[in-house]
Structure 1
Amino acid sequence: MKPASQTSALGYFTWAFITTAAGLALGAWLGWTTTGTLGGMATVFFVCTVLAVLEISLSFDNAIVNANKLKEMTPVWQHRFLTWGIVIAVFGMRIVFPLLIVVIAANIGPIDALVLAASRPEEYARIMHEAHLPIAAFGGTFLMMVGLKFFFDHEKDIHWIASLERGMSRFATIKGVEIAFVLVLILVFSSFLHGEEATTFVYCSIYGLLTFLAVEVVGGLLDASQQTMSAAARGGLGAFIYLEVLDASFSFDGVIGAFALTQNLFVIAIGLGIGAMYVRSMTIMLVEKGTLAEYRYLEHGAFYAILILSVIMYCQTLVHIPEVITGLGGAALIGISLWSSIRHNRRERSEHVNA
């Protein structure tokens, strides 16, 4: 990666722009080959564009959290995440994950699931939507723990919404307080569901909680093992696993929401894959330019957005909430936190000049 001083803001998005051009061209070709009409080609092209924008809007907070974790990683593991990680993110979560859901839900083989996606997209979409409740419960719980971990930290000394965040920092001295909070929410939301749905919600939420705790434990053991890990691997492998699970949790909402626009798995993969490349570019820019250090409340906005996304995922088990609300809500919070950071910086400069 080039030093920040040698790379313009647009320069970070070179590969994202190339991917956009290639992806939209592929989408147009797919539209032409499947429909044989200019209207069909234009429709698929438009859907790919909308899906890319949807993914970018849902993933602002993902990029900020990635950057927050990456700055603690060794250069070797930073590079591995930004290369291997993007392959896993694009192909694993945008293609393999939806296929895996259908494989499990319909009890069919991977090849049969791929054939189903190509030949019977309506049935494929139906199975994906039926799997929404367990996915929302699992992903919502994992993301909620990620958000709460940031705020329930007794060493945290920078507060954006001061009264609220100071209170959470004080409560952080009570072991397991965030886990207890999440468990209470699980019980509350499950009480609005009935029968098998309630049982599924509770079980999948617990799996999400256990996954977060397992990733924390395994990551800590891997990163702290001075005897068995090389110097290059320390401080990297555990964070790499954490970021991959985190990216998967962020992707749940986008993948499921994409089926509201199209039932074509390949169109979804193109659109969301384009968006994932912008997330990668934003992550690199945030790390190299030190943006998180420069704008002190930007992380806060991202983690509040994560908490809101997790609650929305819980609420989606009861009512439908359009993905555009999720994306715009998160982007708005990050925008407000950026504005607050700029105001803080101006105020500090003014005080320094006056002094």
Structure 2
Amino acid sequence: MILRTFGWSFGVTAVGLLLAMLYGGPTGLALVAVLAVLEISLSFDNAVVNAKVLDRMSPFWQKIFLTIGIAIAVFGMRLVFPLLIVGLTAQLGPIEAFDLALNDSDRYHDLMNDAYPTIAAFGGMFLMMLFLNFVFEERADKWLPWLERPLARIGRLDQLAVVVAGGSLSFVAWLAADDPGTVMIAGVLGMVTYILVNGLGELFSEASEPGEDDEAEEAGADGAEVTAREALQDAGRGRGGPSNLALATGKAGFFLFLYLEVLDASFSFDGVIGAFAISTDPIVIALGLGIGAMYIRSLTVFLVRKGTLHEYVYLEHGAHWAIGALAVCMLISIGHHVPEWITGGLGAGLIIAAFASSILRNRGEDGEPSEEASGEGDKELHSSKV
């Protein structure tokens, strides 16, 4: 199981470290290894959320995410994206931006820092919307009931997530940004992107619900098959992703795939910028972050195949709280630098705490499944069947 799931990651690690050794010697090897660890620590919560969404995708779209999605994540976001940002900022072509990265790393670093407020506003608001839609949704399982119950109660107000996110963006732009107009535009685009992809995913998932079998069979001719998931798996899931309905196929699968790519991009912003604190060489950064991204993808697959999120139910909660912490850190970093160890430490700490809480929930104080674990599960099943 381990070798089958992480085999490609092990292979990419070996090749990446070899290339780092040939390119930069022992120093390059050490920097790539550190960057890989940094990427994994910053994006572990991304793997948990990805697994929750991937579990709702058809096998066809899962394969697309694990093939084309990896290429986009490793080469697109970790190598091409920084070059595009620098090119747009300095009005340079991709080749010129790459030449600048190789021959004038200090100038390249400065241009990336200049673009960071825009990047952080977009990614921070996308993640903020994801977090708020999760905590404002009523669900059967509650990790922090003293906090999640009142949040779910006030979340009954329609579009409260948009109100809170928009107010936060306005405050950050007014307080911390040198160019508040640019930050506002980028943040609003992040919110719009989340709402659009989320809405499209729900729209086409509804179109694939049982009852439209004829259309589903026609869609299957294009390589997608419509399958309904047990209602229990969706009970309490809320709006943590674009859809909480049946397994996504066809257009619904495409928008779930698109959602995951935007989500990965939002997570990678922080890692790409933080990598410049370790190295300004784009080749070293791409190798290190690329290796880390491979492990995040493998970890996502592992969580899905092992059913870890169904067994340790609070992991999803911890991941979303970690996402909320990352979103806040990104917004704060528009005006003030936030050390990477704080961002990574918050995320890792919240997920570890959620994992420990899940173990205690499953075992109970006397080693037996707790009443909450069994009772609420029965309630979920009953309510979902109704």
Q: Could you say whether these structures have the same fold, taking a TM-score greater than 0.5 normalized by the shorter chain as the test?
A: yes
1:219–1:241 CA contact under 8 A, matched in 2:
no
SS at structure 2 position matched to 1:284? helix
SS at structure 2 position matched to 1:350? coil
CA distance in 2, matches of 1:77, 1:353: 36
Partner of 2:347: 330
Partner of 1:292: 309
Q: How does 1:14-29 map to 2 (within 5 A)?
A: 14-29=7-22
Distance 1:264 1:176, change over 3 A: same
2:364–2:370 CA contact under 8 A, matched in 1:
no
Letter in 2 for 1:19: V
What per-residue deviation string (whole Å, max 9, x for no partner) do you get for residues 13-63 of structure 1?
2221111111111011111xxxxxxxxx11111110110000000111000
Name segments (4+ residues, structure 1) moved above 3 Å.
221-229, 348-355
Aligned to 2:58, which of 74, 77, 83?
74
Partner of 2:219: 230
Partner of 1:139: 123
Q: How does 1:40-59 map to 2 (within 5 A)?
A: 41-59=25-43
Aligned to 2:154, which of 171, 182, 193?
171
CA distance in 2, matches of 1:197, 1:255: 22
SS at structure 2 position matched to 1:157? coil
Structure 1 residue 209, shift from structure 2 partner: 0.7
Question: How high is the TM-score relative to the length of structure 1?
Answer: 0.90
CA distance in 2, matches of 1:349, 1:65: 31
1:152–1:168 CA contact under 8 A, matched in 2:
yes
Distance 1:148 1:112, change over 3 A: same
Partner of 2:321: 304
CA distance in 1, matches of 2:286, 2:46: 18
Structure 1 residue 217, shift from structure 2 partner: 2.2
Structure 1 residue 173, shift from structure 2 partner: 2.1
SS at structure 2 position matched to 1:153? coil
Where does the alignment leave 5 or more consecutive residues of structure 1 unmatched?
Answer: 1-6, 32-40
CA distance in 2, matches of 1:349, 1:292: 23
What per-residue deviation string (whole Å, max 9, x for no partner) do you get for residues 210-269 of structure 1?
111111123233434455981413441111010000000000000011111111111100
Q: How does 1:1-355 map to 2 (within 5 A)?
A: 7=1, 9=2, 11-31=4-24, 41-154=25-138, 156-193=139-176, 196-226=178-208, 227=215, 230-231=219-220, 232=224, 233-234=249-250, 235-347=252-364, 350-351=367-368
Partner of 1:4: none
**Superposed CA RMSD:** 2.0
Q: Percent identity?
A: 47
What per-residue deviation string (whole Å, max 9, x for no partner) do you get for residues 173-227 of structure 1?
2110011011111122122136x52222212111111111111123233434455
SS at structure 2 position matched to 1:230? helix
Distance 1:287 1:348, change over 3 A: farther
1:62–1:250 CA contact under 8 A, matched in 2:
yes
